[in-house]
């Protein structure tokens, strides 16, 4: 499947809200819930506007992962961009109907190849949970290195989990 990533726009709010609602239960199997308020349309739209402002300021990049028909397959984000340190934190999620097709791997690859990202960011930090094996594989296949895990555990969906951490370094800036 051919995919692309494109920065979110104001006109994406309704389609993105629908995508998040349709995939809420699926996402909450492997990542902590965003809470019930996140899924109220007026709150979602307000949050979407805040993300657009953050993106305009250059402190985050929020991308939609889309197919050739412009359908939203997922999202991938770089947040908490520290321009002095040239670092950012990664987040991504792919809808239930699109898992197992290499969508997240391809989207992350596109993000890492993005010229603007490579000019501004030397390191990307990522975290996932111990039960999210697919996410760990995606990170490792895109050149992320396992850094370690939390000592503290937490309960989610009846499982005892910890967060695990990864880091990617832009090789062209290495000394």
Nearest CA to 74 out of 61, 90, 50, 92 is that of: 92
pLDDT at position 113 is 87
Average pLDDT over residues 2-29: 95
Helix (H, G, I), strand (E, B) or coil at 78: strand
pLDDT in tens, 42-56: 999 999 999 999 999
Q: What is the CATH number for 65?
A: 3.40.630.30
Provide the pLDDT for residue 129: 87
**Among 50-54, 136-140, 169-173, where is mean pLDDT lowest?**
169-173
Q: Which CA distances in Å does 142 have to 24, 70, 107, 135, 174?
A: 26, 25, 10, 11, 17
Are the C-beta atoms of residues 1 and 67 closer than 8 Å to each other? yes
pLDDT digits (tens, 9 = 90+) for 123-133: 999 999 888 88
Rounded to whole angstroms, how far apart are CA atoms 109 and 113? 6
Q: What is the pTM of this model?
A: 0.88
| Count of structural domains, the chain | 1
**What is the band of 36 on the pLDDT scale with cuts at 50, 70, 90?**
very high
- pLDDT greater than 70 at residue 175: no
Q: What is the DSSP letter of 121?
A: -
User: Tokens 């992962």 map to which residue?
Assistant: 65
Q: Could you tell me the residue range of the domain that residue 149 belongs to?
A: 3-173
């Amino acid at each position: 499947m051919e995919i692309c990533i494109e920065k979110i726009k104001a006109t994406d709010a309704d389609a993105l809200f629908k995508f998040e609602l349709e995939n809420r239960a699926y996402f909450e199997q492997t990542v902590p819930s965003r809470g019930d308020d996140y899924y109220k349309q007026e709150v979602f739209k307000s949050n979407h506007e805040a993300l657009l402002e953050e993106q305009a300021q250059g402190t985050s990049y929020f991308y939609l992962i889309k197919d050739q028909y412009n359908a939203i397959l997922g999202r991938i984000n770089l947040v908490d961009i520290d321009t002095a340190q040239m670092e950012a934190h990664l987040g991504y999620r792919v809808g239930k109907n699109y898992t197992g097709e290499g969508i997240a791997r391809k989207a992350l690859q596109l993000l890492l190849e993005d010229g603007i990202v490579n000019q501004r960011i030397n390191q990307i930090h990522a975290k996932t949970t111990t039960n999210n094996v697919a996410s760990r594989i995606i990170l490792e296949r895109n050149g992320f290195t396992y850094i370690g895990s939390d000592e503290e555990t937490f309960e989610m969906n009846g499982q005892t989990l910890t967060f695990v951490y990864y880091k990617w370094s832009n090789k062209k800036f290495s000394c």
